[in-house]
Amino acid sequence: MNARSASSARTTRSKVSAPTPLPKREAILRAALLVFSEHGVHGVPVPEIAARAGVGTGTIYRFFASKEVLINELYREQKRAINRRISDSLTASQEPREVFQEWWRRMVAFAREEPEAFRFLELQDHLPYLDDESKALERSVLAPLASASRALQRRGVYRKDIRVEVIMALHWGSFVNLFKSERAGYFKLRPVDLQAACDACWRMCAVVPER
């Protein structure tokens, strides 16, 4: 192989192996997710998002009319993604504790595999930015969970002295704070810890048969 052929081969390999850049809208949403998950929503300027996305600030406004619009688009995208991942194929016909354990396992997988998305969705500082469409989506995601929990109360699976909304808050809050504590460096969550926490959350709200 002569020098020109070798150079041509290297160029061809370089072109083949070079990653395909994300479309600009997708790149902006990805950059916003990374920045918001690191620093929260308040005080993050649009130019910082643009720099992370590798686009000009003006390009962001071509796709999103304002920072608030960007936050809502990102929120809805990630909310739909986690809902599909967590809720798909879970049915009320399954044994309740198995459903809860599967929900917990899926949440663990999501938090481990999509840490930026998980951290963004657990943020509280984006709540004032949410528009009516985002709030409606949030309600539509929570409604089936609330309905299923009420059905479990009627069947005597869940305790009736705890409101359904409180049960849901206890489960979600417990899960979120486990990963917050790990992120803060207090401990490293082992599989046995996560299973023990799952069992504890179940027992906290389930009716325990008398012995």
Give residue 105's identity as a one-letter amino acid code: R
pLDDT at 12: 45
Instruction: Please say whether the beta carbons of 174 and 167 come within 8 A.
Output: no
- Percent pLDDT > 90 in the chain is 75
3-state helix, strand, coil in the chain (%, to 5): 75, 0, 25
Residue 131 CA to residue 108 CA, distance in Å, equals 29
Maximum pairwise Cα distance, the chain:
85
Tokens of 86: 């967590």
The model's pLDDT over 172-198, given as tens digits with 9 standing for 90+, comes to 999 999 999 999 999 999 999 999 999
CB neighbours (10 Å) of residue 64? Answer: 21
> Which of 88-92, 139-143, 183-187 has the lowest average pLDDT?
88-92
Q: Which amino acid is at 210?
A: E
